[in-house]
Amino acid sequence: MADSSIFGDRETEFLKELVRQKVEFMVVGLSAAALQGAPVVTQDIDLWFRSLPDPGIERALQKIHGSYVPPTASTGPMFAGKGIELFDIVLRMDGLGDFDEEKKNAIRVPLGRIKVLVLNLERIIASKKAAGRKKDKIVLKVLADSLKTIRERERSGPRKRT
């Protein structure tokens, strides 16, 4: 598992606040892949919410002085405020089931004293394949190699220290 320090302090505080407010969400996309050890970079942090109108989201935003920007005819919903501009709200995941179905196979990744739900790497790969965008196709080999490495590590068990 990768170090969760891929997030800055403000991003981490927002994620922790979402957990404190009991908001059902998961980190998806390349940020989720990086949290699982894939050597990838991304410019954003994709969050998939079970229910976007969850009042816990608004409470979390208030705690960190952020705000929710509703969708318009030309833009999707988004967050605004210092330290949360990197978060993208994901409304659906190409090629996957609904939030509740995907949650069954998601994993929990430590983020300080709490854990955040993260879409597992196998499902990230399935979604990227289904989306079929050029930028997704470019990263598929790296994600597949990372998944293979993770599975091999899991099969071999924990390493003994000498």
Question: Is the per-residue pLDDT at 158 higher than 90?
Answer: no
Question: Is the per-residue pLDDT at 65 higher than 90?
Answer: yes
Question: Is the per-residue pLDDT at 4 higher than 70?
Answer: no
Nearest partner of 120 among 141, 139, 104, 100, judged by Cα = 104
Spatial distance between the Cα atoms of 102 and 119, rounded to a whole number of angstroms: 7
Q: pLDDT digit string (tens) for 123-136?
A: 999 999 999 999 99
Spatial distance between the Cα atoms of 42 and 45, rounded to a whole number of angstroms: 8
Set out the domains of the chain in order of their start, with CATH numbers: 4-156 (3.30.460.40)
- Assigned token pair, 24: 């059902």
For residue 162, the model assigns a pLDDT of 52
